[in-house]
A and B are shown apart, each in its own frame.
Chain A
């Protein structure tokens, strides 16, 4: 997309996820493509159920058994990820790819000490002895800002606060200095001051070359943690571009709606305007553009023809028939899309 990404670290091209269920097959991810270079950062934004978490789980090969992943290209550091054997995945995960999950309490093992869960990274991947791995765990805990790490090593996850648990998750994920970190709603469960600390921690690692994918429904978090953004709706990409360009002038009415619903993201105080309606049921998507029932500028064409993701400006893509209109704010003055034109 941009000139700086000549040899992307992560390539996702034409990714599809299908899940067999009792009520038939659903497709939570359809034809999603993006790339990410070393040291770069990308945000995947969307409401819950938009397919953003599924996309990241597909990259790590962690989708449940009922899910089938198809992709034109799913590549990490030049190596194909689809069809990778278990031992190869185990090599890659932790060492090269790491993930932070949304709810650190349920994502940590309740019956093992925090120290064990961090030290385990060194013991299983590096084959280090108990005391050496424990020493490394203490250092990591200190690095992510857990006070008195040597004593807290023996504590269990439930004995930590939400922010400290997320730090434990981060310490675990960053233990072996992976090259790509996927953070799924890394700060959703946390209060604002802790959020800022966690984001600072991630930015610091990014300066050392870590590539970061942040998944969030919160555009404010995205604004502070990623350079590029892709917006997902009902399993597909609807917009992509640089955060600095998309935020002031979105090219899709859904992005515009998300921004209007999040005053913090725009950096202006003002009324919060939620998007009308509910995210669609992915097993029964509306015809045409999946967003049209909720779209303030929807027209006849939107109800019949599904828009394709297309370049609408240099480095900008949008899947809206009227992207130019949304971007410039020209003919329509009444809808959400025009509000920030």
Chain B
């Protein structure tokens, strides 16, 4: 177990290193000159050149990369010229907001997706099952930014029930969290339904019935336990996707999380902050996957972590 986690953490460092490299290259390939953005259009050529030198933009790309890596080893992502503060700490400040949003969306996804999937499996072929299946398909097909805008139009503008942007209350959290969870809620419901139906056809179910177990016990003890493992695997992926999707949703709802910070810093060529945000999101994704693997081995005793 310890060895497994150690090995996976080593792998995680490699992955994060890869992410850093890609981000570094991508940010320097996109058009636009940070120096002219910082100083504005009135700046003289001399001023621009001086700033480029100060920022190290005149060095060969490879040297820039090495210097950059050395800085990152000291957890120094550089300074945000826009916010005038340390890039990493300005990004970390936004973490709680994004986690609150993703966590709420996860609660909604589990709280609705699981019961709906189980209900559909127990009533397989019935109209309730079909309703769940079709609506989950629709939920998956609609783009989040559009759903977000529609929800704002209906619940904030027309009905005036909920705030359209973050206002620090639970109500302000509701619309973005629902928007974020909607496609994954349907995905989870279908996954739970199909998983439970597949398990219901297995031989151990017949054994449980031959032991005189009621259908409730067969379903909610024997089948459910075996449906949990694949569902938890997917929940890890979903949570990772929440953090990634939050980038768009946070902009739509003006949510003060990493996502909106990332978009702002990319449009303003604030490399340091953009990079800190991307690396942080990647790290979250990687650590979540590790967490899921550990949780799965606990739920399904056949999965041996040593063999992974």
Smallest CB gap from B222: residue in A: A109
**CB-contact partner of A92 in B212, B213, B214, B300, under 8 A:** B212
Q: What is the bound-complex CA distance between A86 and B217, given in angstroms?
A: 13
Query: Which of B181-225 touch A at CB < 8 Å?
Result: 202-204, 206-215, 217, 221-222, 225
Instruction: Let me know if A103 is at the binding interface, CB within 8 A.
Output: yes
Q: A107-B206, A111-B301 are in contact. Are A86 and B225 (CB under 8 A)?
A: no
A108 adjacent to B212 (CB under 8 Å): no
B207 adjacent to A110 (CB under 8 Å): no
A109 adjacent to B210 (CB under 8 Å): no
Smallest CB gap from A118: residue in B: B211
**CB-contact partner of B302 in A89, A91, A107, A158, under 8 A:** A158
Query: Could you tell me the distance in whole angstroms from the C-beta of A94 to the nearest C-beta in chain B?
Result: 3
Query: Which of A95-129 touch B at CB < 8 Å?
Result: 95, 98-99, 101, 103, 106-112, 120-121, 124-125
Interface centre among B206, B299, B302 (most CB of A within 10 A): B206
Q: What is the bound-complex CA distance between A112 and B204, given in angstroms?
A: 11
B203 adjacent to A62 (CB under 8 Å): no
Contacts of A156 in B (CB 8 A): 301-302
Contacts of A60 in B (CB 8 A): 210
Instruction: Let me know if B226 is at the binding interface, CB within 8 A.
Output: yes
Q: Is the interface of A mostly helix, strand, loop or mixed?
A: helix
Query: Could you tell me the distance in whole angstroms from the C-beta of A51 to the nearest C-beta in chain B?
Result: 17
Instruction: Let me know if A227 is at the binding interface, CB within 8 A.
Output: no
Query: Could you tell me the distance in whole angstroms from the C-beta of B145 to the nearest C-beta in chain A?
Result: 40
Instruction: Tell me how many residues of A have a C-beta within 8 Å of chain B.
Output: 32
Query: Could you tell me the distance in whole angstroms from the C-beta of A100 to the nearest C-beta in chain B?
Result: 9
Smallest CB gap from A61: residue in B: B209
Contacts of B225 in A (CB 8 A): 109, 111-112
Q: What is the bound-complex CA distance between A103 and B202, given in angstroms?
A: 12
B207 adjacent to A95 (CB under 8 Å): no
Instruction: Let me know if A202 is at the binding interface, CB within 8 A.
Output: no
**CB-contact partner of B210 in A99, A106, A112, A158, under 8 A:** A99
Q: A95-B212, A120-B213, A124-B213 are in contact. Are A108 and B204 (CB under 8 A)?
A: yes
Contacts of B221 in A (CB 8 A): 112, 120
B300 adjacent to A110 (CB under 8 Å): yes
**CB-contact partner of A124 in B202, B206, B212, under 8 A:** B212
A120 adjacent to B211 (CB under 8 Å): yes
Instruction: Let me know if A93 is at the binding interface, CB within 8 A.
Output: yes
Smallest CB gap from A99: residue in B: B210
Instruction: Tell me how many residues of B have a C-beta within 8 Å of chain A.
Output: 24
Q: A106-B203, A107-B204, A108-B204 are in contact. Are A94 and B210 (CB under 8 A)?
A: yes
**CB-contact partner of B212 in A93, A112, A158, under 8 A:** A93
Instruction: Let me know if A90 is at the binding interface, CB within 8 A.
Output: yes
B211 adjacent to A109 (CB under 8 Å): no
Count, A-B residue pairs, CB within 8 A = 82
Query: Could you tell me the distance in whole angstroms from the C-beta of A125 to the nearest C-beta in chain B?
Result: 6
B211 adjacent to A112 (CB under 8 Å): no
A106 adjacent to B301 (CB under 8 Å): no
Contacts of B222 in A (CB 8 A): 109, 112
Contacts of A172 in B (CB 8 A): 207, 211
Q: A62-B206, A101-B203, A101-B206 are in contact. Are A110 and B212 (CB under 8 A)?
A: no
Contacts of A89 in B (CB 8 A): 212
Q: What is the bound-complex CA distance between A121 and B229, given in angstroms?
A: 25
B207 adjacent to A108 (CB under 8 Å): yes
**CB-contact partner of A107 in B207, B213, B214, under 8 A:** B207
B302 adjacent to A110 (CB under 8 Å): yes
Contacts of B229 in A (CB 8 A): 111
B217 adjacent to A110 (CB under 8 Å): no
Q: What is the bound-complex CA distance between A84 and B210, given in angstroms?
A: 15
B301 adjacent to A110 (CB under 8 Å): yes
Contacts of A93 in B (CB 8 A): 209-212
Contacts of A109 in B (CB 8 A): 204, 207-208, 222, 225-226
**CB-contact partner of B204 in A90, A106, A158, under 8 A:** A106
Q: What is the bound-complex CA distance between A173 and B209, given in angstroms?
A: 12
Smallest CB gap from B206: residue in A: A62
Query: Could you tell me the distance in whole angstroms from the C-beta of A142 to the nearest C-beta in chain B?
Result: 20
Contacts of B302 in A (CB 8 A): 110, 156, 158
Interface centre among A109, A121, A124, A158 (most CB of B within 10 A): A109
A121 adjacent to B208 (CB under 8 Å): no
Query: Could you tell me the distance in whole angstroms from the C-beta of B155 to the nearest C-beta in chain A?
Result: 41
Q: What is the bound-complex CA distance between A156 and B303, given in angstroms?
A: 12
**CB-contact partner of A94 in B212, B226, B300, under 8 A:** B212
A111 adjacent to B212 (CB under 8 Å): no
B204 adjacent to A125 (CB under 8 Å): no
Q: What is the bound-complex CA distance between A108 and B301, given in angstroms?
A: 13
A125 adjacent to B301 (CB under 8 Å): no
**CB-contact partner of A111 in B203, B209, B213, B299, under 8 A:** B299
Query: Could you tell me the distance in whole angstroms from the C-beta of B208 to the nearest C-beta in chain A?
Result: 7
Q: A107-B204, A109-B226 are in contact. Are A91 and B300 (CB under 8 A)?
A: no
Q: What is the bound-complex CA distance between A101 and B221, given in angstroms?
A: 20
Contacts of A106 in B (CB 8 A): 202-204
Contacts of B213 in A (CB 8 A): 90, 94, 120, 124
Q: What is the bound-complex CA distance between A35 and B307, given in angstroms?
A: 51
CB pairs A–B below 8 angstroms (11 shown): A93-B212, A101-B206, A101-B210, A110-B204, A110-B301, A110-B302, A111-B228, A112-B222, A120-B211, A158-B301, A158-B302
A residues at B contact (CB < 8 Å): 60, 62, 86-87, 89-95, 98-99, 101, 103, 106-112, 120-121, 124-125, 156, 158-159, 169, 172-173
What 3 pairs across the A-B complex have the smallest Cβ distances? A94-B212, A93-B212, A156-B301
| New A-B pairs, 11, CB < 8 Å, besides A90-B214, A107-B207, A110-B302 | A90-B213, A93-B209, A95-B212, A101-B207, A101-B210, A111-B229, A111-B300, A120-B217, A124-B217, A125-B212, A156-B302
